[in-house]
């Protein structure tokens, strides 16, 4: 038991270090945690050998998986129902094309140029098709765009984009057997009743029984997650859908969501992002940096050529078009979740996983820097105070 406590203390110490670095650099803590994990694994490997950090311990993998599930749920719950209703055409068109263009484009690059096998190529397309809720929320809140219709439209489109990624992860990489039928049937029935039961528990017990809603939520997510793993799928698939179904409830229960976010970001997700970083092979990246550049270029270029013409139909100002496009070109949280899924199921090798995660990290940094430095639509910010109007903790999430 003392070894578990010592290992947990080490990992949480790395999480504290990542939080301090993220604060001073003013970037997403998820991004920093991945980078800290990469460096920590490289240093520990040099002095103490492979797996010195214990990143393959079963208990640590469970905590990391729990963090990914809750983070995915929160990403779905952050969807603003009002935005989806009022800007449905815009967010749907941008979100769907924003998923399809890099999904097919990056898969083609991985297969025809990098000569990866079919399954690895499709996974590469899936990983690089995602957006980064962490980065987008961070930029929206820091600039004040989260209070504008323009900013809310970007957030809505990114939710649609990632929903496509979640669904395809479950459809393409899940072996279709009787287990799949059972999983889909139970998930549809359970998720259909999920919002109503949650509302009833809140009405009757919400203010009387200790954390009954959190316990109920964890019961549902763990139950569907276990069923998803049993069927060969991924636990984040039902978690994201559950979050979307509970979005209106989450909008009314801000205090409850804030407490859940604190638990998730403060304790669970550091294990996930740090572990994702420890699995990156620095040697592979140094041996073939051209692969990283190829994957990053494929993601950004396919996003731009796919969604810029679509965005141009809804936005006239060039700065708005380019800012919108570059924000949708970012990637981080679900991209790393999909990459880790591929590694765990033998779809990609550790070297391929390393290139994919590195490309995802780079996509969280490069488009963001260009968008905020060159294309920030300042004309939309008249009378808007940056950093207000949204929960501050949301910048740490995906």
What local confidence, expressed as pLDDT, does residue 389 receive?
A: 43
- Which CATH number is correct for 2-173+234-385, 3.10.129.10, 1.20.1530.20, 1.10.12.10, 3.50.50.60? 1.20.1530.20
Report d(CA 68, CA 79) in Å as an integer: 18
What local confidence, expressed as pLDDT, does residue 372 receive?
A: 85
Residues 6+ apart with CB under 8 A from 313: 93
Mean pLDDT confidence for 78-88: 77
Residues 6+ apart with CB under 8 A from 74: 243, 257, 260, 261, 264, 397
DSSP class of residue 364? H
Tens of pLDDT, residue by residue over 118-170, are: 999 999 999 999 998 767 876 887 778 877 888 888 988 988 898 888 888 88
Confidence of residue 209 (pLDDT cuts 50, 70, 90): low
What local confidence, expressed as pLDDT, does residue 390 receive?
A: 41
What local confidence, expressed as pLDDT, does residue 240 receive?
A: 84
Tens of pLDDT, residue by residue over 167-197, are: 888 888 877 889 889 999 999 999 999 999 9
What local confidence, expressed as pLDDT, does residue 106 receive?
A: 96
Rounded to two decimals, what is the model's pTM?
Answer: 0.79
| pLDDT exceeds cutoff 80 at 398 | no
What local confidence, expressed as pLDDT, does residue 100 receive?
A: 96
Tens of pLDDT, residue by residue over 234-257, are: 888 888 889 889 988 888 888 888
The per-residue DSSP string of 224-269 comes to HHHHHHHHTS-THHHHHHHHHHTHHHHHH-HHHHHHHHHHIIIIIH
């Amino acid at each position: 038991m003392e070894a578990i406590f010592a290992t947990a203390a080490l990992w949480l110490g790395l999480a504290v270090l990542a939080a301090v670095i993220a604060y001073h650099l003013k970037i997403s803590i998820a991004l920093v945690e991945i980078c800290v994990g990469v460096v920590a694994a490289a240093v520990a490997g040099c002095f103490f050998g492979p797996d010195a950090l214990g990143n393959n311990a079963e208990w640590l993998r469970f905590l990391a998986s729990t963090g990914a599930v809750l983070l995915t749920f929160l990403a779905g719950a952050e969807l603003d129902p009002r935005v989806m209703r009022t800007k449905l055409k815009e967010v749907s068109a941008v979100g769907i094309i924003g998923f399809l263009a890099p999904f097919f484009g990056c898969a083609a690059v991985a297969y025809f140029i990098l000569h990866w096998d079919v399954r690895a190529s499709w996974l590469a397309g899936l990983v690089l098709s995602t957006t980064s809720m962490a980065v987008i929320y961070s930029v929206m809140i820091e600039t004040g765009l989260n209070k504008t219709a323009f900013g809310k439209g970007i957030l809505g489109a990114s939710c649609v984009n990632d929903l496509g990624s979640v669904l395809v992860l479950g459809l393409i990489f899940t072996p279709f057997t009787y287990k799949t039928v059972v999983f889909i049937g139970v998930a549809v029935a359970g998720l259909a009743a999920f919002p109503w039961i949650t509302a009833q528990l809140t009405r009757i017990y919400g203010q009387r029984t200790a954390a009954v809603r959190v316990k109920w939520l964890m019961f549902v997510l763990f139950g569907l997650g276990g069923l998803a793993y049993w069927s060969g799928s991924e636990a984040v698939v039902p978690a994201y859908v559950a979050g979307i179904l509970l979005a209106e409830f989450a909008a009314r229960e801000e205090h409850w969501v804030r407490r859940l976010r604190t638990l998730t970001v403060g304790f669970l997700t550091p294990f996930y992002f740090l572990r994702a970083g420890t699995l990156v092979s620095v040697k592979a990246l140094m041996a073939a940096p051209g692969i990283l550049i190829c994957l990053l270029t494929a993601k950004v270029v396919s996003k731009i050529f796919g969604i810029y013409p679509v965005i141009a139909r809804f936005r006239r100002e060039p700065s708005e078009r380019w800012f919108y496009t570059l924000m949708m070109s970012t990637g981080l949280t679900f991209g790393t979740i999909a990459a880790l899924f591929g590694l765990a199921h033998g779809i990609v090798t550790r070297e391929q996983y390393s290139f994919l995660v590195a490309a995802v990290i780079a996509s969280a940094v490069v488009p963001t820097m260009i968008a905020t430095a060159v294309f920030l639509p300042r004309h939309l910010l008249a009378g808007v105070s940056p950093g207000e109007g949204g929960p501050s903790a949301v910048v740490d999430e995906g």
